[in-house]
Structure 1
Amino acid sequence: RGVSPLLAASLIHAAVDEVLQIDFTEFKKQSVETEEEGDEERFTLLDGDSLQRFFFNKLREVCFEWQKQLPPLRPLKRFLLVSIHAIRNTRRKMEDRHVLLTEFNQLFGLSDDTDRAYFAVFDGHGGVDAANYSATHLHVNVGLHEEIVKNPAEALKCSFQKTDEMFLFKAKRERLRSGTTGVSALIVGNKLHIAWLGDSQVMLVRQGKAVTLMEPHKPEREDEKARIEALGGCVTYMDCWRVNGTLAVSRAIGDIYQKPYISGDADGDSFELTGSEDYLLLACDGFFDAIKPYEVVDLVLDHLMQAKGVGVKAAERLVAAAKENGSSDNITVLVVFLRDPQDILADCLRDPKSLGAGDDAWSSAFNFLSCEAAATQ
């Protein structure tokens, strides 16, 4: 508690490294057998409570050792400032989860000279188990993937499927029915890699303009509808388009009873970062169903003007706007500033016509201010 994220990630990696040197036989809980398409697979489960105690004892030992001599810690060279806000809203339960790891290298012991940072948003349905599991395991599968250094795009995309397979085994064993959409962004040097399942989304703002990076997986997409029907499923309209009359997304982690119609095969893409990018935004459908991408630009600029260039509460402003626009769903918004918000604001003030929605964007940003002022009168 109170430790910098850089030091915390380095300590965790060192402690985990120590734990992995031991014989895990003493922590073995039971062997589980499951038949899958006629083949018998064996899985070993470990006693989580005793293993956790052992880990914390190792962590304490590492802390005592590092108090004597602290090893060198290398922070990110790239500027990153993260703003995150999430609310349950009017829903009975909060089923969203999010992960931000600007210390990805330290956590997984990657010692090359390449900066890496990982961000993800998960939007659970039918319970929180799938979202919890994905938020706990997806980045681990990415960090331990054999291609993480040479082909990070492949590592990210494949880790979605790996996480889905792992959770499906857990769901079968524990009779869990939940699922989760997910979107993740992995920054590696000057490259941005993204991958997603379902309708959680990531977008980019570059020089004041909204840039679409992906197309969410929804049942009404022609290619998704064709895939589902080819498997023997159906897409029907029941207040919105749904797979087999149930789920409003066509791909997700989990949803064991809707596989293979609900696919766990993620889509992905990669983009060059040139230095002109302002920020990334990852959010669930509770946000994107209420706020259009071009509106994000105005809202963030309006917030920066009011906050005098301080961006730490930008996500809070965006969540509030989605709620005001009628969203009743859980809402999670994660904003990753790739440039100093002070510089973003200064550039917009110098060149108002560079804003995202065209020549009217600058006036619309000021309209937010005038509307708020009128509301208080």
Structure 2
Amino acid sequence: MQGVTEEEAQRFLRRLLEELPSSLGPEDPLPLTPLSRVVSLDELRGESLDLGLRVLKARDSPSPLSAAMCHAALTELLKSDLSPFQLPQQAEQQGEEQEIVLLQSEPVQRLFLSKLREVGVAWNRHLPAPLSVGHSRFLLCSAHAIRNTRRKMEDRHVSLLDFNALAGLKDGVERSYYAVFDGHGGVDAAIYAAAHLHINLGQQEALASDPAFAFKKAFSQTDDMFRGKARRERLRSGSTGVAVLLQGEWLHVAWLGDSQSMLVRRGQEVSLMDPHKPEREDEKQRIEDLGGCIVFMGCWRVNGTYAVSRAIGDFDQKPYVSGEADCSSARLDGDEDYLLLACDGFFDTVRPDQVPALVLRALREYGEPRGAAEGAGCEEGSPVGTLGENVAQKLVAHAKEAGSCDNITVMVVFLRPPEKLLIQDQGDAAEGPAQE
């Protein structure tokens, strides 16, 4: 098992088997609430993996073990006869070209958790061979999100260091995934994208050969899937999104709307993308060519409604609000400091060129490194005192103090140990006077 010792894994498995009941009866409550009451077959993967990861995280499972166990349990679930959980076809489905199979979520998730426990029993006896290649690149993720002054929190974010293990990929290519989703008109679209986009991405045949195509197709597939859920449950929300896949020596970023990602290399900002905004000239032209318009109502809005020009959801304004993502790629040479992903609640008050100084200021506040180690994971449960783990919290606080009233979500993915960034900063400061 990569990233976790055999002793750690078995210690956790023994505790898990003590805490999880050997079987869940039809009336037994689930340990956590599933995302939905009803799921389609296409949604079953994302919904089950989301529940499994949350259940294991609540029990402090090592991240690599959680990802691998959930994938194994899902594999067994999909081999099962799911017909007992199938719902009758709804009246509004009559006449559709393809019948949509819907399942009762709670009973099928009871079966999934039973499969998860069975995996735990088997692996407690004998851990499997490594399921995915470990990470040679330093990765540490600092993430923080606040509701701020808004009535509801409609942002979601995802950090998957163990993308391969969760997706069942065994091609020997290192992968990790990070994403921020900024919902509007409700949180449903953001929750949906956070649960399903990476699942759809991991299933793309073109992932290794053409990641940009795979990313765009995954976004479109997620938008199409959410359309079905929105129709069934009469949902009207939407969500922008930015997602990053670190794949081998390459960084791939895909986005819809105005959430953004940026790269910092040797203390300098590197632009990765141009956010979609209604007033962006090519977006304005695209919308007008479709017969729509851009109207200024406090901010630029599509047809006087949404302040975003691309998003998952917002089906009442499709195709003006497009569900087609853009993607860019950059080769990593080892000199990169970190990635930053954030919603517009951050970038509304912080310019990208301000980020490097803000990150260094946050690192300096913690002084000398305390317990950081190369190869540290990027989960919220990182060891207390790890240098860099609170950087996102400082950035969020700065954006709020600068006047942001929106939900704010920030993720900083360090690609070099933060200690080295401080050493580099100290070296630059020492050289400064001599160069003047």
| TM-score, length basis structure 1 | 0.91
Q: Which is further off, 322-331 or 110-119? A: 110-119
Which residue of the other structure, out of 254, 272, 275, is the alignment partner of 1:195?
Answer: 254
User: Are the counterparts in 2 of residues 33 and 42 from structure 1 also a CA contact under 8 Å?
Assistant: no
SS in structure 2 of the partner of residue 315 of structure 1 = helix
User: Are the counterparts in 2 of residues 34 and 42 from structure 1 also a CA contact under 8 Å?
Assistant: no
Does residue 49 (structure 1) correspond to residue 126 (structure 2)? The answer is: no
Q: Describe the shift of the 1:320–1:233 C-alpha distance in structure 2 as closer, same or farther (beyond 3 A).
A: same
Which residue of the other structure, out of 73, 77, 82, is the alignment partner of 1:24?
Answer: 82
SS in structure 1 of the partner of residue 273 of structure 2 = coil
SS in structure 2 of the partner of residue 135 of structure 1 = helix
Separation in 1 of the partners of 2:91 and 2:167?
31
Separation in 1 of the partners of 2:97 and 2:78?
27
Instruction: Tell me the amino acid that sits aligned with residue 84 of structure 2.
Output: E
Query: How far does residue 287 in structure 1 lie from its aligned partner after superposition?
Result: 0.1
User: Are the counterparts in 2 of residues 33 and 40 from structure 1 also a CA contact under 8 Å?
Assistant: no
SS in structure 1 of the partner of residue 207 of structure 2 = coil
Query: How far does residue 149 in structure 1 lie from its aligned partner after superposition?
Result: 2.5
List aligned pairs for 1:86-165, cutoff 5 A: 86-165=145-224
Query: How far does residue 24 in structure 1 lie from its aligned partner after superposition?
Result: 2.2
Q: Describe the shift of the 1:12–1:264 C-alpha distance in structure 2 as closer, same or farther (beyond 3 A).
A: same
Does residue 252 (structure 1) correspond to residue 311 (structure 2)? The answer is: yes
SS in structure 2 of the partner of residue 86 of structure 1 = strand
Deviations along 1:228-269, whole A, 9 cap, x unmatched? 111111101111111011111100000011111100000001
SS in structure 2 of the partner of residue 246 of structure 1 = coil
Alignment RMSD, CA only?
Answer: 1.8
List aligned pairs for 1:236-315, cutoff 5 A: 236-308=295-367, 309=369, 310-315=387-392
SS in structure 2 of the partner of residue 150 of structure 1 = coil
SS in structure 2 of the partner of residue 351 of structure 1 = helix
SS in structure 1 of the partner of residue 423 of structure 2 = helix
Structure with greater proportional strand content: 1
Separation in 2 of the partners of 1:35 and 1:7?
40
Which residue of the other structure, out of 287, 291, 294, is the alignment partner of 1:235?
Answer: 294
Query: How far does residue 41 in structure 1 lie from its aligned partner after superposition?
Result: 3.0
Separation in 1 of the partners of 2:93 and 2:302?
27
SS in structure 1 of the partner of residue 221 of structure 2 = helix
Query: How far does residue 35 in structure 1 lie from its aligned partner after superposition?
Result: 7.6
Which residue of the other structure, out of 419, 431, 434, is the alignment partner of 1:342?
Answer: 419
Unpaired runs of 5+ residues, structure 2, are 1-58, 370-386
Query: How far does residue 34 in structure 1 lie from its aligned partner after superposition?
Result: 5.7
SS in structure 2 of the partner of residue 9 of structure 1 = helix
Deviations along 1:320-376, whole A, 9 cap, x unmatched? 00000000000000000000000111112112499xxxx99xxxxxxxxxxxxxxxx
User: Are the counterparts in 2 of residues 6 and 75 from structure 1 also a CA contact under 8 Å?
Assistant: no
Does residue 324 (structure 1) correspond to residue 401 (structure 2)? The answer is: yes
User: Are the counterparts in 2 of residues 30 and 46 from structure 1 also a CA contact under 8 Å?
Assistant: no
Which residue of the other structure, out of 204, 209, 212, is the alignment partner of 2:271?
Answer: 212
Query: How far does residue 166 in structure 1 lie from its aligned partner after superposition?
Result: 0.7
Separation in 1 of the partners of 2:430 and 2:203?
45
User: Are the counterparts in 1 of residues 183 and 190 from structure 2 also a CA contact under 8 Å?
Assistant: yes
Give percent identity, aligned residues only: 56
User: Are the counterparts in 1 of residues 93 and 99 from structure 2 also a CA contact under 8 Å?
Assistant: no
- Residue 375 of structure 1: aligned partner: none
SS in structure 2 of the partner of residue 122 of structure 1 = strand
- Residue 370 of structure 1: aligned partner: none
Instruction: Tell me the amino acid that sits aligned with residue 127 of structure 2.
Output: L
| TM-score, length basis structure 2 | 0.79
Which residue of the other structure, out of 44, 65, 78, is the alignment partner of 2:137?
Answer: 78
Instruction: Tell me the amino acid that sits aligned with residue 46 of structure 1.
Output: L
Does residue 351 (structure 1) correspond to residue 351 (structure 2)? The answer is: no
SS in structure 1 of the partner of residue 269 of structure 2 = strand
SS in structure 1 of the partner of residue 142 of structure 2 = strand
- Residue 34 of structure 2: aligned partner: none
Query: How far does residue 291 in structure 1 lie from its aligned partner after superposition?
Result: 0.5
Q: Describe the shift of the 1:275–1:34 C-alpha distance in structure 2 as closer, same or farther (beyond 3 A).
A: farther
- Residue 10 of structure 1: aligned partner: 68
